[in-house]
Chain A
Amino acid sequence: MKKVLAFIDVVDGQPGEIGYELLDFARQAAPEAELVAVGAGPQAALEGLAGADRALWTVADGYRPDLVGEVLTAAIVAEQPDLVLVGSTAVGMDAGTYAAAKSGYASIAYVRSLEPLDGSLAAQSVILGGKMVARVAVPDRTVLQVLAGAGSAERGRVPGRPAQVGTLAEPAAKASFEGFGRPEAQDVDITRHDVLVSVGRGIGDASNIELAEELAEALGGVVSSSRPVVDAGWLPKARQVGKSGNKVKPKVYLALGISGAPEHLEGMRDAACIIAVNTDPAAPIFEVAHYGVVDDVLDFIPALTESLRVRQG
């Protein structure tokens, strides 16, 4: 493997974590290859990409789907890399498959890891709602859509800019950008969040919801709940998970003081990673959880929030 391109998501001037993760992922998978970061955004977004050997950059603002697709296509055509990495993100979904189709590359999605296969590589892709892992041969000249978390952003983020930054002319785009919309602080739609900190009757009292709010903030998620918490008026109805509430499928679902009644499970059992905390070791929630902690949530939540803050420095 000689050359790997990593596509850096930039939205609203801000590079996403996924870009750093891809740089790390590329280094782990092909340490010897030349690593080129590609992206469209302000120059400032190159900061932290020093882990790449080079960068190919288009200076652009706003956001246009076909622009990112064309930038990646142009980079592929110019560089002829062996492997192209994009994130499984809203930006990667615009760029990855489109550029593969345009440049005659193969495309493999939902990749969580790579492994050697007779001098070449095989990708492990998580499909079918996480119920199956496919091993797929990675032909020469492939675009991989890599899942968040497959690489480490911590390792991938290297202060400074890449040693060499080439410029890609801004390609023509059909779409025009008409501005960003910011979510209103009030209207939380729990079905659209990757991290849910969900509290049940075990939280004890309305005043303890705050602990969960702090944890959610540290995790970049929002607070949801089982029905009794909503019934008690501690949280609005829109936060209820379950049969008569919302069906959610977050990446991480923290069930804090929730027993795991079937009506609750109906709404969350498809979450990719379920972490349950409950004082009762026999609580049914532990049957669907991936990780379990037997503890008092009132002790555990602050400890976890603290732990996260320490990790995040």
Chain B
Amino acid sequence: MRIAVVMKLVPDVVEELVLSEDGKRLERGDIALKANEFDEQALEQALLLKESSGAELTVIAAETGDVDEMLYTALAKGADRALKLVGDGLQDGIWNAQYAGILVDVIADVGADAVLTGVQANDDLDGQLATWLAAGLGWSFATVVSGVEAAGESLIAKKEFAGGLTANLRLPLPAVLGIQASPEPPRYAPISRVRQIMKTQSLEEREVTAPAGSITVLSLRPPEKTGGAEMIEGDVQAKAARIAEVLAQQGI
């Protein structure tokens, strides 16, 4: 099996999110980016598959920021190849539809018969990458997957629903998986090993052109500020009733 793990950088919400002057996007130069945490789960799942079934593993990321460290870390964890997609306009960030548009050719060239990526990312406003890719490639797929095993010409994927219910799915290869959680937490790459890899291994690069995006953001802003807790007053019944109402508003 040849596995491609597609990763992307997302805004790190631990850091301040700085808006651009026009208020329509984040000022990319002023925010911190990090690997999408679900992509890290996908990478771990792929590494486990590699260990159990001897797959070859290529990690792919578009250079929508400084992706080198993310890719070297993936190599340090055990990926065989790391492919950086470079091109004009990527640095401002791309939507998933555009990313999928780029990846369809790349994945064919890599010769992958399974693509693993995170089930979602904190910035996928135009839908999730895994399904954009599955539709683009015409492959079998599943999202919200929390466990994958190789079974000959198929993968057995465990898909999760709300409340812990799961479905076991047999997906014939080639297949795309949106990974929610790997059976093991993402392994730690010791810094000395990452630094060693940076000195001894290099990233492959490939020039790509992103298709146009199809989404128009009118504005971006923080949600209405709550400014500390809204304190509920009244007797205990009244307070409980109000909280019950709040819970209902949250869709619970």
Residues of chain A having any CB pair with chain B under 8 Å: 11-12, 16-17, 21, 62-66, 69, 89-91, 93-94, 96-98, 100-102, 106-110, 117, 122, 125-137, 139, 143, 145, 147-150, 174-183, 189, 192, 194-195, 219-221, 251-252, 272-276, 281, 286-287, 289-295, 299-300, 303-304, 306-308, 310-311
In the complex, identify which listed stretch (B72-80, B86-94, B201-209, B232-240) lies at the interface while the others stay far away: B232-240
Q: A65-B159, A295-B239 are in contact. Are A134 and B143 (CB under 8 A)?
A: no
User: Are B141 and A66 within 8 A (Cβ)?
Assistant: yes
User: Are B240 and A90 within 8 A (Cβ)?
Assistant: no
User: Are A94 and B126 within 8 A (Cβ)?
Assistant: no
- Return chain A residues, CB-CB under 8 Å to B215: 106, 108, 136
User: Are B128 and A93 within 8 A (Cβ)?
Assistant: yes
Give, as a whole number of angstroms, the nearest-CB distance from A155 to chain B.
12
Residues of chain B having any CB pair with chain A under 8 Å: 11, 13, 17, 26, 96-97, 100, 119-120, 122-128, 131-132, 134-136, 139-144, 156, 158-172, 178, 181, 214-223, 226, 228-232, 236-237, 239-241, 243-244, 246-252
- Return chain A residues, CB-CB under 8 Å to B142: 65, 94, 175
Give, as a whole number of angstroms, the nearest-CB distance from B147 to chain A.
10
B164 (CB) vs chain A CBs: closest residue: A183
B223 (CB) vs chain A CBs: closest residue: A133
With most chain A CB atoms within 10 A of its CB, the pick from B131, B161, B223 is B131
- Pick the residue among A16, A134, A149, A252 that contacts B162 (CB under 8 A): A16
Kindly state the separation between the CA atoms of A286 and B230 in the bound complex, as whole angstroms.
9
- Pick the residue among A100, A122, A150, A179 that contacts B127 (CB under 8 A): A100
9 pairs from A and B in contact (CB 8 Å cutoff): A21-B251, A65-B143, A109-B128, A174-B140, A179-B167, A192-B164, A281-B231, A295-B239, A307-B241
Q: A180-B166, A219-B252 are in contact. Are A136 and B159 (CB under 8 A)?
A: no
- Pick the residue among A21, A94, A178 that contacts B170 (CB under 8 A): A178
Give, as a whole number of angstroms, the nearest-CB distance from A190 to chain B.
12
User: Are A299 and B236 within 8 A (Cβ)?
Assistant: yes
User: Are B135 and A98 within 8 A (Cβ)?
Assistant: yes
Give, as a whole number of angstroms, the nearest-CB distance from B18 to chain A.
11
Q: A108-B127, A109-B127, A251-B252 are in contact. Are A91 and B161 (CB under 8 A)?
A: yes
Kindly state the separation between the CA atoms of A290 and B226 in the bound complex, as whole angstroms.
7
Kindly state the separation between the CA atoms of A89 and B119 in the bound complex, as whole angstroms.
11
Q: A93-B120, A308-B247 are in contact. Are A292 and B232 (CB under 8 A)?
A: yes
Given contacts A93-B128, A291-B246, A292-B229, 15 further A-B contacts (CB under 8 A): A11-B165, A12-B165, A62-B167, A69-B131, A102-B135, A108-B215, A128-B13, A131-B13, A149-B251, A220-B163, A274-B229, A286-B229, A287-B229, A291-B243, A292-B231
Kindly state the separation between the CA atoms of A62 and B218 in the bound complex, as whole angstroms.
41
- Return chain A residues, CB-CB under 8 Å to B214: 106, 139
Kindly state the separation between the CA atoms of A251 and B162 in the bound complex, as whole angstroms.
12
